Structure 1
């Protein structure tokens, strides 16, 4: 029977190499057990977040840390393929905790993690330079109603795979589109470039983007005044989404704590969002209902789920 200890030792070693062994493994602490709020955020995606902590997700995370009385730490990673694997699910090397415990912006129902209650609802938007012949455009129907010659000359910027793609296809505008990628391999690129650089610079005439991005860069345009108009969802064509936060499926108590912070700070969160020009829609109502209209303050200001 001398082979058994050797076989068991070999099996234990194999399991350890696969990351399945438990002997000698350092136990992982629960989120907040060491009074640190670890958040996963994109280092270059204003107005959501950036490494200088100038985004609204940065401000909301700082608010939560302050109220908890915890230290705030960040795990920076571009929001592209592999984001959850490299942040929320990644263990910090030689430490007793994960790299982060909270993702500060995901669509409601995001299936790669457990989502909190939504903390805002917004929609995709279209943006154009004021005074360039599109000032009367306040909806998708207004684009369709443009003179055929003007419509055929429109240079359009849109993100591949975004909800507006179907509308562009239905209205025969696909050949006039310059396509952008929301998840690129270049860490220096960011979604707001479509408005801040290409729209403002005259490369395109109209841009379709996630509302928080369109509203923010329209408000901060430097070279030309830009108008951002939130899109209204249509039957079978959804442009508005509720945004929540995300934790690991196993962190049920932590999710409840974050839910409590979102509920208790609803007014402060919306004030932060309004400062960034985010078009805000009323939460928990049908997309086609009468309340599917941005607040006056958000409309006047005028990352992609």
Structure 2
């Protein structure tokens, strides 16, 4: 009798054991991407992937600073990262599930519409840019402005920010709200989400030209990353992204993520 029950269980479920656990790498304090409360769109995507693969979802929480990949996927502490640039060579990446762009963020009342990187107004405006450091790894807008000699009127906002505060990278958008800067060049998901939350009406426009000086792209594809030797999981997640494409688009829209046409 027990043998028959076991056989039936195996046929119906494949296994009577506990479901496997898939562990996501995520920042616990980085909306709109992720937080410990599971409120970010990458949290929702991670849950979607785990559910489709009949797995429990676990997390390894790590602040997204330098060394993030090395200390998470690189040390096999987690199985996948729900939001990594598609061309990062340290990991294997799925098909892109969105493409976004840096945005000009300004107060709507300032009437700064139609800005481009070559707009003469940028030479006199107070400008905020996201910074990584003082080396060649800085953000594309920081490099593009420096190439144009726009330096003295630029204020840098560290991409990592003050981690004692909620969602520290959002400080650059808050600076626009307060009027500390006239315009900021901000990565799209961050710009879209916090502009929608702002008590001050903000204007968002894509940074153009999108491929500045033939070396500083303003648009990037974003994928799910896994360890390079985990091709099985990579293919499984790829199938989830294809199967859930319309739901993922709705998820991104709910978080006001600016998407590049054709993504």
Q: What's 1:216 paired with? A: 193
Q: What's 1:157 paired with? A: 128
The CA deviation string for residues 144-163 of structure 1, in whole angstroms up to 9 with x for no partner, is: 2x4xxxx5541111012111
Contact 1:37 1:70 in 2 (8 A): yes
Q: What's 2:94 paired with? A: 116
* TM-score, structure 2 as length reference: 0.83
Contact 1:44 1:187 in 2 (8 A): no
- The gaps in structure 1 that reach 5 residues or longer are 1-32, 91-97, 285-305
Shift of 1:249: 1.1
Shift of 1:198: 1.2
Q: Which has the larger radius of gyration?
A: 1
Within-5 A mapping of 1:170-209:
170-184=147-161, 186=163, 188=165, 190-195=168-173, 197-209=174-186
Within-5 A mapping of 1:126-141:
126-134=104-112, 136-141=113-118
Shift of 1:82: 1.9
Aligned residue pair count: 236
The CA deviation string for residues 99-150 of structure 1, in whole angstroms up to 9 with x for no partner, is: 310011111121111111111111111100111242x334334x32x4xxxx
Runs of 4+ more than 6 Å apart: none
Select which of 50, 57, 64 maps to 1:72: 57
Q: Whole-Å Cα distance in 2 between the matches of residues 50 and 186 of structure 1?
A: 12
Q: Whole-Å Cα distance in 2 between the matches of residues 167 and 116 of structure 1?
A: 29
Select which of 137, 142, 145 maps to 1:168: 145
Contact 1:80 1:184 in 2 (8 A): no
The CA deviation string for residues 249-271 of structure 1, in whole angstroms up to 9 with x for no partner, is: 11110111011111111111111
**Alignment root-mean-square deviation, CA:** 2.0
Contact 1:158 1:207 in 2 (8 A): yes
Task: Return the structure number with greater strand share.
Answer: 2
- Aligned residue for 1:191, secondary structure, equals helix
Q: Whole-Å Cα distance in 2 between the matches of residues 156 and 131 of structure 1?
A: 16
* TM-score, structure 1 as length reference: 0.72
Q: Whole-Å Cα distance in 2 between the matches of residues 104 and 47 of structure 1?
A: 13
Contact 2:130 2:172 in 1 (8 A): no
